[in-house]
Structure 1
């Protein structure tokens, strides 16, 4: 997560959306750069609202715009699946070695996903809070030119991040039955992604009646 005081902008770090590359490129221009631990680096809106927003608005005098990136849900899961195929994870509970993409997505759709499929939800990560804290500009992962143009205009610097943490290429075939199950169980994610327009415009989900528990992202 990066906080740009002069631009009055917060860049959230949604996992598996290329955020590390942007943070590496733009950290020198930020007033605050949160790179560790992962729970803070990848702070979702509810955690930003709970821990960071009060401090930022107090010391920088008022609310900031929040920008984030969302990946098409199936492609996002594919990135997690490939990332957890890494040789160094062999034998670890988070490893997806020996599993098909169908197996991985099917496990993700269960009520209690196993460790390797416990990756959260982008819709929950981006969910607005009752306090009014919400993402104001949401870009599709595929719209890199739009995101870079927006950041360059707001920050007044060239934005050209080098690719980092790329996962190995693997086939990601998904059976129609599992895809239907995924789209039904995570309908909010698909609806949110399809509603993103040009320039980061989108319609936020309604805030939940109760605060989101501080669970993993």
Structure 2
């Protein structure tokens, strides 16, 4: 999460949406950069509202909150690939020796196994009853639009390097499983499809 005081802008860090590269490029220019631990770096709207908003609004007044969202199947695929990395071998969160269908089956299970317990983008971005919400959500698939917005808002050029890129892996889902996913996680698909 990054906070820019002059621009009155907060950038939330939805996991697996390219925000690590943004944070590395912009953290030196931010009034506040929350990069660690992951639960604070990736503070969803509900956590931002509870812990950060009171302090930020006290000193900056009203701010605009922005975030990036990824197409839901691609987002799950990024988690699946990330958790195949060797440093997770032998841990309950590892997806080594697993195919994407098995990962999504785990994601749709209740309870979810540790390797598939990755949350939901719709839940991450869900508005709070007090009105705290993300003002604008950018599509990961049109990341250049997000960068253009930040450059205009922050009045600076942004040079990004690719960071935190997961190894390639096949991400084909069976039609029946994709149908289940789209039904069970309808909020994620509706939110992404509604983005312009």
Q: Same fold (TM over 0.5)?
A: yes
- Number of residue pairs aligned between Structure 1 and Structure 2: 196
Q: CA-to-partner distance for each residue in 1:70-126, whole Å, 9 max, x for gaps?
A: 000000000000000011211100000111100000110112100000000000000
Q: How far is 1:160 from its partner?
A: 2.2
Distance 1:121 1:159 in 2: 29
Which blocks of at least 5 consecutive residues in structure 1 are unaligned?
A: 198-217
Distance 2:100 2:14 in 1: 22
Per the alignment, residue 41 of structure 2 pairs with 41
Q: How far is 1:130 from its partner?
A: 1.0
- Mapping of residues 126-205 of structure 1, within 5 Å: 126-197=125-196
2:13 alignment partner, SS class: coil
Distance 1:29 1:51 in 2: 22
1:183 alignment partner, SS class: helix
**Structure 1 length normalisation: TM-score?**
0.89
Are residues 1:15 and 2:15 paired? yes
- Mapping of residues 12-91 of structure 1, within 5 Å: 12-60=12-60, 62-91=61-90
Q: CA-to-partner distance for each residue in 1:182-216, whole Å, 9 max, x for gaps?
A: 0010000000000001xxxxxxxxxxxxxxxxxxx
Q: How far is 1:59 from its partner?
A: 1.4
Distance 1:78 1:125 in 2: 18
Are residues 1:122 and 2:108 paired? no
Distance 2:87 2:137 in 1: 33
Q: How far is 1:52 from its partner?
A: 0.2
Per the alignment, residue 214 of structure 1 pairs with none
Taking only aligned residues, the RMSD between alpha carbons, in angstroms, comes to 0.6
Which blocks of at least 5 consecutive residues in structure 2 are unaligned?
A: none
1:3 alignment partner, SS class: strand
**Structure 2 length normalisation: TM-score?**
0.99
Distance 1:176 1:149 in 2: 36
Q: Which has the higher helix share?
A: 2
Per the alignment, residue 205 of structure 1 pairs with none
